[in-house]
Amino acid sequence: MAEEFNAVDIIRTKRDGNALSSAQIAWVIDAYTRGVVAEEQMSALAMAIFWQGMNPRELARWTEAMIRSGDRMDFNGVPRPTVDKHSTGGVGDKITLPLVPLVAACGAAVPQLSGRGLGHTGGTLDKMEAIPGWRAQLSNAEITEILSSVGGVICAAGEGLAPADRKLYALRDVTATIESIPLIASSIMSKKIAEGTDALVLDVKTGIGAFMRDPDQARELARAMVGIGASEGLRVRALVTAMDVPLGRAVGNALEVAESVEVLAGGGPADVVELTVTLARHMLELVGVDADPVQVLASGAAMDSWREMVRAQGGDPDAPLPRAPIIESVRAVGPGVVLSCDALAIGRASWTLGAGRARREDDVSASAGIEVLVKPGDEVAAGDPLLILHAEDAERLTRAYAELGSLDEPGGALTLGPRDRPDLVQPGLPLIMDVIESA
């Protein structure tokens, strides 16, 4: 670049609460990607951003610089409008799996570049890899070909997309700056804009099982991402949705694939179906496709798209999914009503069973996880199954029970109370809390 800056001066500027110039931002992202700015210097800058924030202009320029650090995909050869969905992550959030084939069956193309799970939240690629033979790594030519012929693809993002973000994300993970709204927003949007779709729908989770627990913070993140999209000329809409209880019943990779197939077959939990259909409607509306996802789902066309998608990536849609060798039920000791169901505790227990990873290089179990058979407000009888735990070894099962806690005391994954005290049931968040789009 023509103009050179000093990393220390840039850190000081942001530390003292001043705005960075567009030229400073472009220089520091480029220099960091090339290794000119040291990790400890970018750590200091990330912490300064964490405390001081960014104004909309800074955020737009920061995101733009991260996009320019790598390649941009081009789907001009795909004979359908392209639209993607991104979720900020949660427990039992398998929505991508039924959503992509549903939107494809409606007539749009969905290039769903996905990631892996970390901590208590599941990763879409980990779920899909439970299908025998399915592969996540595709070339750009393969992605374009599958989009043109099938209409939907779920795959890993290429190494060339926003490499600055990949470097910065790893740094944020070890410097306690993950929760910064500007850094979250720019991280998500740099990859999604570089992906090159015509439109994007964001599913911003809130509640105890989400990264943004506070609904106001979730709305702030949604507005930031919508604003970035508008600055780049991308049609973006954000939904703020509930993650206080797990989505659906299944938490864990193969279990969530099975539940997704159930939705595509016309069944499945009501909350998973509702969110899938709602997101599909918004995606189709943004790209001008006139189709009713409810009718398409009922027709079986989405299931046909799913099977084609899985085959196109080497998977066998008819192959049995992995099954854990140890399966145990947690049962109600007496009659009662479910007062609460903690998404974070369920997610942690599923992670402990092997369904998630503590570090990005860790392996995950395809078969481990939890089936959550009840929701707050459900009445149960003595002996009714509440949870079904799927584990590969007894030691993990023991640790998962410790994570779940007691059914009789507050603080556990599930809390039961007397049937005559329905007033004690914790009121849940509405599934769809807000819809945010640019003015």
What residues are annotated to the active site? 86, 165, 172, 187, 191
| Long-range contacts of the stretch 379-384 (C-beta < 8 A, 24+) | 379/335, 379/336, 379/337, 379/338, 379/419, 380/332, 380/335, 380/336, 380/337, 380/338, 380/416, 381/332, 381/335, 382/332, 382/333, 382/334, 382/335, 383/331, 383/332, 384/331, 384/332
By C-alpha distance, which of 325, 327, 324 is closest to 385? 327
For CA atoms 253, 254, 259, 263, the dihedral sign is positive
Nearest partner of 223 among 62, 439, 57, 436, judged by Cα? 436
Number of H helices, E strands in the chain: 16, 13
**Closest to 404 measured CA to CA, from 354, 346, 323, 327:** 346
- Is the distance from CB of 181 to CB of 50 less than 8 angstroms? no
Helix orientation angle between 7-15 and 22-33, rounded to the nearest 10 degrees: 130
Burial of 71 (0-12, 13-18, 19+ CB in 10 A): middle
Residues 6+ apart with CB under 8 A from 252: 122, 350, 353, 355, 365, 367, 368, 369, 370, 390
Give the dihedral sign, CA 105/110/113/116: negative
Residue 149: CB partners within 8 Å, gap ≥ 6?
A: 308, 312
Q: How many CA atoms lie within 13 A of 302 on its CB side?
A: 31
Q: At 164, phi and psi to the nearest 5?
A: -60, -40
